[in-house]
Amino acid sequence: MLIRFVIENMFSFGERKEFSTIPNKRLKTLQNHKYSVEGFELLKISSIYGANGAGKSNLIKSLLQFQKLVTKEKIPFKLKDTQHKFSDQKEQIIAVEFIQGNTPLYYGIVLSEEKILTEELYISGLGKKEDELIFERSTLDDITTIKFLDEFENDEKSQVLKTVLLEEFVKPDEPVLKLLSNRENKFLKDVKKAYQWFSETLEIITPDSKPRALAHKIDTDSEFKKYAEDLMRSFNIGITSLGTEKKNIREFFGEDNENELDKLIKAVEDSPRKMIGLTSRRGDEIILVKENNIIWVKTLKIEHSSINNSAFFDLNEESDGTIRLLDFVPAFKNVISSEKVYIVDEIERSIHPLLIKELIKKFSLDKNTLGQLIFTTHESNLLDQEIFRQDEIWFAEKDLNGSTDLYSLSDFKEHKTIDIRKGYLNGRYGSIPFLANLEDLKWHDYDFDK
């Protein structure tokens, strides 16, 4: 579970800002939205509003880059391209506090000149007690040092490991979290948990993201198929069922280009799961998978029904909104049934406002959810206190220095019965565009027919 995310001097964020899922103790609404982990409470859902260019997507972009930094073990961007343009500061700070396997952890990195100056991992005291050091690495003049928890430092065998790591593996521009998580050392078990949060628990969905192997999952997982069909039917958009069309690889691609077929077959054979995904021109996924010594090509089919008939359609015959809803099916299945953290940028993209509200409402009102859902949106119809607590609604707005500010609706201490959508559209909470007087644009002075 995500507790808080801290960012400084990255993209549109200048001064240090913090996003948090810690409940406001003053609020008593929607008590089922609070999860309790080892006696510590956090919220299950959050929405982030802001005008175009306010920086709400940059919050998610920063966390995505942080995830890539940890899992790929390389800085995935040039720092000069991500530093806040109006700041002379070179150091960038990015940190996250989270709970993995009932263990609260804090992990943070300080970057400068495309080097990792500081990287630290602590067991978080959650504000109730002192944080406990797991490791802290520092780099000065290309020389890296690491300090571990006392038990590790006092263990002779662990000290040999430390020497080998520093001499042969640790580099100034690479984080060590993944490296340490792969070591079989009894004192570093919590490092494995921290890495698992980034590699397995955290799922970030951008507007261009696509679910992986959806056609294969629907073909082989009957429980998932039923969930997907039930969810899509509930939107009343004419979908009756979901299916998978399977064709032999040679039947699907034809025999004209033997060399390309051989390359695809080898790619499937060499993959760990004997499965690869290809992307069509539209961006839809085509699955190649080996089953019973045959390589099949699987594509998703969607059945629609009329009064007297029914037929299956290809994805390229469906609307962008229907495809986007399908993209969310695995995410909503997982966020309901597992302790995953899903973060979605522009959740309403291509989806009708009433449908996206219904989707969010399903998650909000379900008392048996296990995961967290955090998303950015422009959709004011979601500003409903029957769906969200006030501390689950956040706003992003540029300040006078051109830096993104983050704040929660709970800062305004509104009554639980107030129409927050109306207040938002009237500018009561900021974070909406200030539109110029269109008369001042003097459109009538232009001849658009020229």
- Tens-digit pLDDT profile for residues 298-312: 999 999 988 888 899
With vertex at residue 71, the alpha carbon angle to CA 66 and CA 77, rounded to the nearest 5 degrees, is 45
Same domain, 163 and 236: no
Closest CA to 352 of 329, 395, 381: 381
Alpha-carbon separation of residue 237 from 161, 175, 276, 340, 403 (angstroms): 59, 47, 31, 28, 41
Domain boundary among 275, 305, 321: 321
What pLDDT, on the 0 to 100 scale, is given for residue 163? 95
Closest CA to 210 of 315, 338, 101: 315
**Owning domain of residue 156:** 1-207+345-450
**Do both 194 and 228 map to the same domain?**
no
Place of tokens 């001849």: 447
Coil, strand or helix at 289: strand
The token duo for 353 is 């406002």
φ/ψ of residue 82, rounded to 5: -115, -10
Confirm whether 290 is domain-assigned. yes
126 with 220, same domain: the answer is no
Where among 321, 355, 371 does a domain terminate?
321
CA distance 56 to 258: 48
Tokens 């706003």 sit on residue: 395
Q: Let me know whether 285 and 407 are in one domain.
A: no
Q: Are residue 230 and residue 352 in the same domain, yes or no?
A: no
The DSSP code for 347 is: T
- 352 and 312 within one domain: no
Helix ranges (DSSP H) in 198-319: 214-220, 222-234, 249-253, 258-270
Distance from C-alpha of 157 to C-alpha of 135, rounded to nearest angstrom: 17
Residue type, 89: Q
pTM metric for this prediction:
0.89
The token pair at 442 is 């003097």
* pLDDT for position 337: 94
Within a domain: 329: no
Nearest to 252 by CA among 218, 289, 211, 283: 289
358 and 419 housed in the same domain: yes
Burial of 382 (0-12, 13-18, 19+ CB in 10 A): buried
Q: What is the pLDDT of residue 400?
A: 85
The pLDDT of residue 121 is 98
Residue 234 to residue 82: CA distance in whole angstroms: 42
The domain boundary, picked from 321, 355, 379, lies at 321
CA dihedral 210, 214, 216, 221 (to 10 degrees): 150
CB neighbours of 356 closer than 8 A, spacing ≥ 6?
A: 347, 348, 377, 379, 381, 382
Residues of the chain with pLDDT under 70: 79, 282-283, 431-450
Sequence-separated (6 or more) residues with CB below 8 Å from residue 266:
none
Output the pLDDT for position 304. 92
Q: What is the pLDDT of residues 126-156, one digit of tens each?
A: 989 999 999 999 998 888 999 999 999 999 9
Average pLDDT of the chain, as a whole number: 90
CB-CB neighbours of 149 under 10 Å: 19
Same domain, 127 and 99: yes
Residue 24: what pLDDT? 94
Any domain includes 291: yes
Total of domains in the chain = 2
Going by the DSSP 8-state scheme, the letter that residue 30 receives in this structure is -
For the chain, the straight-line distance linking the first and the last C-alpha, in angstroms and rounded, comes to 57
Judge if 350 and 434 occupy the same domain: yes
Residues 126 and 144 in one domain: yes
E runs forming strands in 206-348: 239-248, 275-279, 285-291, 294-305, 310-314, 341-344
Q: What's the CA gap between 108 and 91, in Å, rounded?
A: 13
β-pairing verdict for 285-291 and 294-305:
antiparallel
Q: Are residues 143 and 260 in the same domain?
A: no
Domain for residue 326, yes or no? no
pLDDT at 9: 94
With 0-12 CB in 10 A as exposed, 13-18 as middle and 19+ as buried, what is 316?
exposed
Contacts of 149 (CB under 8 A, 6+ apart): 132, 133, 134, 135, 187
Q: Per the structure block, which two tokens stand in for 319?
A: 């609307």
CA dist., res. 288 & res. 247, Å (int): 10
CATH of the domain at 176: 3.40.50
In angstroms, the CA 264 to CA 29 distance is 54
pLDDT of residue 72: 93
Tell whether 427 and 372 lie within a shared domain.
yes
pLDDT tens-place string over residues 53-95: 889 999 999 999 999 999 998 887 776 788 888 888 889 999 9
